Amino acid sequence: GDCHKSRKPPLVDMRSLKLLTPVKLGDLTIKNRVALAPLTRGRSGDSRVPNEWNIEYYKQRANAGLVITEATSISPQGNGWSQSAGIYTEEMSQGWAKVVDAVHKQDSKIFCQLWHLGRASHSSFQINNQQIVGPSAIAIQGEGLYDANGQKRPHEVPRALETSEVPLVVADYRNAARLAKLAGFDGVEIHGANGYLIDQFLQPKSNIRTDIYGGSVANRYRFLGEIVEAIQEVYPAHRIGVRLSPNGAYNDMGSEDNWETFGYAISALNKVGLAYLHMMDGLGFGFHQKCPPMTLADARKLFSGPIIGNVDYTRDTAEAAIQSGNADLIAFGRPYISNPDLVYRFENDLPLAKSNPATWFTHGKEGYIDYPTYQEAQSKI
């Protein structure tokens, strides 16, 4: 009966992990500081209406205190990825309501990430093959993208949105938020990262406008500012998050003055009383090298509300970021693809399963909802 004495204690005492303690986001209590990062997986079919697979996928991962949905199109114009989900019709809202319900049953909170691809889209995704839109008529320089028929195509030159059209896009964001609220989402995250439409407006690399939405840092921020304001007609500020990627090179982004641009944006957002700022501070998704990277510590100097860090975190680096006070939650993306029970693995100091990148973006069940939990994998051995 003495054999239990010889067991070595784990290096980190799992019970003392701050990562696994509750946290407040505005008026919401989140059960732990692990967030499911938004991951585009393209499993909602051609209708873009969330389905049974999507319900199962989010349900499996609702051990995260905060679930952030995959990027979800706010309008037909905002589409640009095969079989990604939307939130611009009542039917889509009803589909999402079932996902929300499944997540709420596990005592987790869920935010819908609102997305418009802008110049990162392709005419084949647009109604009547219309030209894609952006802040300016500048194409993404890069290896191209997959069109609506799954063919690799070069990036197209977008049409610059007219000054009078920009408020219509802002209204699309507000309408998407209304449908998200109808579905029961606890809040929404505005996707201002990764070279999609909002990021395109923020950075001079893609925005050479001469109207009120271009030129100065304040003008380039205006589009995001108007979206944040419009959504407050639906959700209070403390139920709205914003995601930014000041370091990102994805979709041909990164500008020399990103410190000025994002410093201005974060300071402006700090006055709003948001649920959180979601910073893609890690460099593992591609770093533009046009200026020094912006860290969570840099963001913390400008933003007093909750901050979510993201990209390439491990349990222990996440814990360190939270202990430092620079982050309140950490979002995990790729680890959650193949570890639906990620929190359980963190709690019990268990190894993580590797994922198969070949099925990250396919359209079937395989590589989506068939990754076993640790206990399921053990019982098969």
Helix, coil or strand: residue 61:
coil
Q: Cα(285)–Cα(324) distance, rounded to whole angstroms?
A: 23
Q: How far is CA 209 from CA 19, 43, 141, 263, 312, in A?
A: 43, 36, 19, 21, 35
Q: Cα(28)–Cα(274) distance, rounded to whole angstroms?
A: 12
Given a contact cutoff of 8 angstroms between Cβ atoms, the answer to whether 26 and 328 are in contact is no
Given a contact cutoff of 8 angstroms between Cβ atoms, the answer to whether 253 and 205 are in contact is yes
CB atoms within 10 A of CB 350: 16
Read off the tokens for 65: 């205190």
Side chain identity, residue 3: C
Write the burial class of residue 157 (CB in 10 Å: 0-12 exposed, 13-18 middle, 19+ buried).
middle
For 108, phi then psi, to 5°, come to: -110, 160
- Nearest to residue 224, comparing CAs of 200, 245, 206? 200
- Please provide the DSSP assignment of 321-364 as one string: HHHTTS-SEEEE-HHHHH-TTHHHHHHTTPPPPPP-GGGSS-SS
Read off the tokens for 205: 């690399």
Per DSSP, helices labelled H in 16-150 are 52-60, 90-104
- Encode 296-329: b = buried (16+ Cβ within 10 Å), e = exposed: bebbbebbebbbbbbbbbebeebbbbbeeebbbb
Q: Which of 58, 88, 196, 368 is catalytic?
A: 196
264 noted as active-site residue: no
Given a contact cutoff of 8 angstroms between Cβ atoms, the answer to whether 219 and 208 are in contact is no
The residues carrying an active-site annotation are 196
